[in-house]
Amino acid sequence: MNHNQQLQAVLLRLAGAVEILAFVAVVMPRSWMEWSHVWLGMGQMPEGAVLMFLIRQASYVYGMHGIMLWVVASDVVRFRPLVIFTGISFLLAGPVFFIIDYVSGMPLWWTVADSVGCAFFGASLLLLSRDNGARGE
């Protein structure tokens, strides 16, 4: 594995580790979520079954995606198409998440960190993918 591929594996594992943390929200007490909502400056958290359903299911999906990133990182050569797809999807997520976060009224620091972080991660994976397939390294 060359240096670029090693860096890809590290980036994928880092992103995966962050996403795996989302599993906590699957079982987190609602009172903790309410406290976090206020702490983030978003006021009182609304009530409702749909909100809890979305929070817990999205957290589960994020956690599973984090595990998938670790699987892809285990062999970035073999999973090269998935590495490239992941790069493209995160790069596209940058502007999409910016719009979603902005329209949803998320704090500006959150909106910027979310969108720029995703775009940077995606661009990094794609830049590190250049030439990897052509030489078969």
- pLDDT, one tens digit per residue, over 31-78 is 999 999 999 888 899 999 999 999 999 999 999 999 999 999 999 999
**Rounded CA gap, 131 and 109, in Å?**
35
Q: List for the chain the helix, strand, coil content (%; round to 5).
A: 80, 0, 20
Give residue 22's identity as a one-letter amino acid code: A
The 10 Å Cβ neighbour count of residue 22 is: 19
pTM, two decimals, is 0.87
- pLDDT, one tens digit per residue, over 100-117 is 999 998 889 999 999 999
